[in-house]
A and B are shown apart, each in its own frame.
Chain A
Amino acid sequence: EIVLTQSPGTLSLSPGERATLSCRASQSVSGSQLAWFQQKPGQAPRLLIYGASIRAPGIPDRFSGSGSGTDFTLTISSLEPEDFAVYYCQQYGSSPGTFGQGTKVEIK
């Protein structure tokens, strides 16, 4: 199975700053079938990005995804207070689908 490694584990930033999150795959992700999710305490994950770079319906344009092959990035251009959460990448191109271990974006 494909192992996804996210870095950093924790990102300490202030509102208004730019956040850059990394997801590296142990092998190439088929068809760039990679998604990003946001999760807040006590809530289910929320789909942000799929197909590596396509924003899900209703997701603000401050969220963007990029990458292909084995290296992917989620960028939040200017952090809003509601963006402080844990972010997960997930590949769904190869079975079994797998998730990264998460990056926590916390208020500095």
Chain B
Amino acid sequence: QVQLQESGPGLVKPSETLSLTCTVSGTSTSSYNWSWIRQSPGKGLEWIGYISYSGSTNYNPSLKSRVTMSIDSSKSQFSLRLTSVTAADTAVYYCARDLSRNRPLVLAYWGQGTLVTVSS
């Protein structure tokens, strides 16, 4: 079955870069769009953006200047980088996949989430 698993540091210092990887199994990263979403008590669920299987990206304008997503199909992984973090970036970060190729951006498969805390 389709499984996604986020990994990365749970603690990041202010002004530094948050880096997360999502490892995928039971499906190929050579298809579908691959999304990142975060959830914080203050802002609820927030869509960060997605990267397609071809490498094209679409980022939330509120984060666009600080976000970079990449994909490595040879490793069945895709990644998120968020620069210049502040306490407001503290959240649970989720990776997710479309339901199907003809149902893009329907977020059907989610990782379990990883808590990232921004603190010195």
Contacts and interface: CB of A to CB of B under 8 A. Distances in A.
A50 B47 contact: no
Contacts of A19: none
B45 A92 contact: no
Contacts, number: 52
A12 interface: no
- Which secondary structure dominates where chain A touches chain B? loop
Interface stretch (B8-16, B18-26, B54-62, B72-80): B54-62
A90 interface: yes
A96 B47 contact: yes
Interface in B78-116: 94, 99, 103, 105-108, 110-113
Interface size class of A (residues with CB under 8 A): 20 to 34
A57 B57 CA distance: 27
Interface in A27-65: 33, 35, 37, 43-47, 50-51, 56-57
Interface of B: 44-47, 49, 58, 60-62, 94, 99, 103, 105-108, 110-113
Interface of A: 1, 33, 35, 37, 43-47, 50-51, 56-57, 88, 90, 92, 95-99, 101-102
